[in-house]
Structure 1
Amino acid sequence: MDTYSNLPIGSSGRDKNNVHYRCSPHQLPPFMKCLSDKQIGFVRKIGFESILSMQDFKMDKDLTLWLVDKFNCDTEELEFDEGISIPVRPLVKFVLGIPSGPIKVIEGLHVDDALYEQYTWDTRGKKAKEVAEEMCSITEEEPFCIAFMMAILAIYLAPNTSVSVSRSFLGAARQVGNLKQMDWCNLVADCLFKGIKDYKQSDRLCVHVKGCVHILSVIFIDLAKHPTLIVPDGFPRLSVVTTEMGCFTSKWVVAHPFGSFVPVRCLEESVYAPVLNNMPNGNTVEGVKCSDSDSNTDALADQFAITDTDQNNNKHPILAELGNARTTHNTSSSPIVEHVVLDTPARASVAAPSSLTEHIIFPTSGEQLQSAGPSDEPHSAQIMDSVQVPPDTTVERRRGLLLTMEKDDRSTKKARVELSGSGQVKQAEEVTIKMDMSLLNCSVCSRPIKPPVFECNAGHLACYKCLIGLPYKLCQTCEHSSGFGHIRSLDAIVSSLTVKCHHDGCGSYVPYYELDDHQSVCPHVPCFCTELGCGFVGAPQALLGHLIALHAMPVHKVHYGQVHQLRLSVTRPRCLLHGQGDDSVFLLVMGVFGVVSVVCIRAEASSWPQYAVKLQANGPPPPSSVEGSILLAMKPVTSSTRPGEVAVEELPSFLMVLPTYLVGSGASKEVSLDVRIDKM
């Protein structure tokens, strides 16, 4: 047996013919092609437009099971030769392009009997393909969106061991207004990782691998090194990677003897390189549990119980406090959600806070947590400003942490989500902690620490990227340059601290250490008015309305991939282009010397989606001797929050229009342009 396809696989040595999976990406494109424009609009509204552009991809069993074997369930990484490990969770968003909002997706929420029966057949869940077929004929928004979510979850995103829909997702799917704000990326990752772990631990002869195993194939194809394999750029990756690429690569892998070297690129050399700084946290450990028993649960303590080798058995100040806190709650059938949110005051960035303190609010019956921000008020006054503290509450300060707890109760409370009939999250009481955020700074770069977190013998923290750059990986802050150890429990804490973006209209909660990165690409980043003397600042869509209403700037709707005939004049050398489908805003300008350019009004650092423009100036009609055209081939579009101040030399390309192409006389001279914008 010298090829992978002939070898037994898995930890139990079972034959591949006894291993199956239900993830079927090739089944979705035919259904998407049957949707009407109205239904496509519903899909875009809930944030799943990437599924509409999904390429045909038939799973290769040999490749899939080989990758499952390469997946490390503890580190959540694909482990290849030469020590290359690829974290999978951060890549899910860029592979799938589905929402990764602040609301955790919860299974098992209550639904009415009528809806439950609608997705039931003979006491079991209705078959997924049947639901997908019925979906194509539904014209009302809410029932269509529910059917859409149930179908894609069962067929692709979170398939189980059967061909039926999972009715445990009905409660989440029916919250149509909140679907775009839910964290579907982490749900998909959790289902996949649990499915692989269950498969590897199973001793059954026949077993299914649950979850979206397609993700592993896409990532591997993107990273595989081969001179004849050319993988195009673009996100999400499911709209780029095709069956043809998958079949070629799988045949190549299978043709190699098992254990032989299959070269892959590291992420920095791959198609993911442009978005590495924008990747979501890959070690999120915000547990979700449904308690149906009469006994208390303690998921947070279980998370903190994960241990690595502690070189001096000393805990970090944060762990010293939170590690001793036990969590209890009154048992019910309500799902449990645990995470921490910091709500910072409006500021441009969180740049290496050295002594920044935050109020961390732990809601006991709420979904999000908030912060009152830094304050010079006395500790008790700060708590009273951020949350109403009952009379039977005591305040305690220990090692940089300020804790408020109910009298005679030294236990931190768990967060429980309670949904009203409308699906809105209710909040009850809250517990506030004030904390010196400098405790979570990397001792090397002085920035907020990023998981995985390492600590030296003296308690100095370091990010992994900083650690690998240190001489001999020894602490440079310590007097005796001690070594570092991985602190998994700090990974859990750092991963759970999230901050609400302060940009108006955003509302996203992002990991505290990713606030700078998020705000540099946030679609709601403040943009500045293009008119001299006007101080208006607002999100791109707000600026669009401002320029139309107050400055009477003309606006034209543009459909991506189509040519639009426009005119710019000497007196009105600017106009707005409003992208249909994603509400993007562009500024088309004819400047001095006839320079015509297009700028996308958004954050400069935005890397996705990318746009390209093609410009063509048309000469005057006969009998003019200059009839013809000047063409600017398809070029990337520059992004800017100050579109009126972009200098020509900063543009990657522009169109130079000769004076003879201007028609008319004096101030009425104008040029005819053909404009095409493509969404990459």
Structure 2
Amino acid sequence: MTTPLPAAAEVVGVEGRSGGAGAGAVAAMELNHAMEEEEITVKIGLAVLHCPLCFLPLKPPIFECEIGHLACGACRARLPTKQCRVCARGAGSYRRRPGLDVFFRGVKVPCPFDTYGCRRRDVTYFDAADHARACPRAPCACPEPGCAFVGAPATLVGHVDAAHARPATPVRYGAARSVSLPASRRWHVLVAEDEDEDEDEAVFLLTLTELGAGAAVSLACVRANSGAAAVAQYACRLAVDVHNDAGDGVVRALVMESNVGSTALLPGGGAAAPDVGVFVHKRMLSGDTLDLSVRISRLPPAGAVVAGDTIGKSTPVAHHLGGPSCKLAVIRT
């Protein structure tokens, strides 16, 4: 019985026929190349892809005992006698199986966030969890209480405009942008626009949270992949103009410089309470609105935040809400 060749294969010669002895080798190379490019979809039980000892995905080096029980390299290294724990009295000896390494490297799955826009469909199965943690399309929720929207951060911008009539404010890295935040609306979305960063789709959430006699204003980057090693880091400067009650026309700028945290929000739960923010007393508000200046700077992924120098002294009327690399000052203008 003759096995049909893959559609991409082309036989250029067979040994013993016109074409010479080397033609068969050429045909074999063409066939191997075609088979490497061919892909099929199969169903495999998840238990087969996981180590029976630690239950984590099997990844090279993979070991197999004489009976056929598998173990990952980490589990085998922890066994005192290097004997199979499944076999009776540990009688089975583990051996390295390079063929299994090849097989498990070839098991590919799509990103679990493909419905949110990730186009990676060739993620090695044992790397799928790491990819999901770092995926920029990992979904986030809407900050509006009761809203069931869940999607990639980039799609949140269009959603809040269409569903909640809140168009996002574009910002450029390193440039200050004035924002008016009504106390009744509680949150506002900012979206980064950077000519030098075509792939940057950073979305930021500016929130105003009631705290006793005032409110806390804070800024966070909306993303669910903040734990990724190469994820971008940001710093921010929030400045609030404070008009005192003396009526002398003196304006003070309440300034906070800090690193920017991340939030994935909770579906239907609204904006989260800030980890880092600046407390603003009610008398600092202009009616029902907080007028402030926002400046966001992009940092290297592994860079430490270096906040700029602040001038003036802190005041008991305004407090920062903790957090590393946070500076607060009142500047007299």
- Shared fold by TM > 0.5? yes
Going from structure 1 to structure 2, the CA distance change for 1:472 and 1:662 (only over 3 Å counts) comes to: farther
**1:657 matched residue in structure 2:** 280
Query: Is the counterpart of residue 564 in structure 1 residue 177 in structure 2?
Result: yes
Q: Which residue identity is paired with 1:551?
A: H
When residues 489 and 530 of structure 1 are mapped into structure 2, their CA distance, relative to the original with a 3 A threshold, is same
CA contact (8 A) 2:221 2:260 kept: no
Q: Are 1:598 and 1:613, in contact at CA under 8 Å, matched by a contact in 2?
A: no
Deviations 1:262-319 (A, max 9, x none): xxxxxxxxxxxxxxxxxxxxxxxxxxxxxx9863336xxxxxxxxxxxxxxxxxxxxx
Please give the TM-score of this superposition, normalised by the length of structure 1. 0.35
Unaligned runs of 5+ in 1: 1-291, 299-327, 340-362, 364-368, 372-432
- Give 1:442's aligned residue: 51
Taking the TM superposition and a 5 Å limit, the aligned residue runs for 1:140-179 are: none
Aligned match for 1:673, one of 293, 298, 305: 293
Paired amino acid for 2:280: V
Aligned to 1:614: 236
Partner SS state of residue 554, structure 1: coil
Q: Higher relative contact order at CA 8 Å, sep ≥6: structure 1 or structure 2?
A: 2
Cα-to-partner distance string for 1:571-599 (whole Å, 9 max, x where unaligned): 33321111223112111111112111222
Alignment CA distance shift 1:486-1:604 (3 Å): same
The alignment of Structure 1 onto Structure 2 pairs a total of residues equal to 262
Matches within 5 A, 1:554-593: 554-580=167-193, 581=197, 582-593=200-211
Counterpart AA for 2:118: C
Residues 561, 679 of structure 1: 8 Å contact kept: no
Tell me which residue corresponds to 2:132.
519
Aligned-pair Cα RMSD in Å: 2.9
Measure, in 2, the Cα distance between the counterparts of 1:565 and 1:654. 17
Q: Aligned residue for 1:163? A: none
Distance 2:147 2:241 in 1: 35
Q: Given the alignment of the two structures, is residue 495 of structure 1 paired with residue 105 of structure 2, yes or no?
A: yes
Residue in structure 1 matched with residue 254 of structure 2 by the alignment: 630
Aligned amino acid, residue 338 of structure 1: E
Deviations 1:421-443 (A, max 9, x none): xxxxxxxxxxxx55444333212
> Which residue of 454, 468, 486 corresponds with 2:96?
486
- TM normalised by structure 2 equals 0.68
Contact 1:441–1:461, Cα closer than 8 Å, also in 2: no
Return the alpha-carbon distance in structure 2 between the equivalents of residues 442 and 513 of structure 1.
11
Correspondence list, 1:412-427, <5 A: none
Structure 1 residue 616: deviation in Å?
A: 2.5
Shift of the 619–293 alpha-carbon distance from structure 1 to 2, 3 Å rule, reads: farther
Q: Is the 8 A contact 1:540 1:601 kept in 2?
A: yes
CA–CA distance in structure 2, aligned partners of residues 532 and 604 of structure 1: 22
Correspondence list, 1:399-418, <5 A: none
Shift of 1:498: 0.5
CA deviation vs aligned residue, 1:497-536 (integer Å, no higher than 9, x gap) = 1001242221202011222222233222222222223222
Partner residue in 1 for 2:119: 507
The letter for the 2-side match of 1:586 is: F
Change (3 A) 1:609 1:440: closer
List runs of 5+ in structure 2 lacking aligned partners.
1-22, 301-333
What CA distance in whole angstroms lies between the structure 2 residues aligned with 1:479 and 1:636? 55
CA contact (8 A) 1:498 1:510 kept: yes
**Residues 528-549 of structure 1, C-alpha deviation per residue, up to 9 Å, x if partnerless?**
2222232222221122111112
Structure 2 counterpart SS, 1:678: strand
> Could you say which residue in structure 2 is the equivalent of 1:536?
149
Is the strand fraction higher in 1 or 2? 2
Counting helix residues as a fraction of each chain, which structure ranks higher? 1
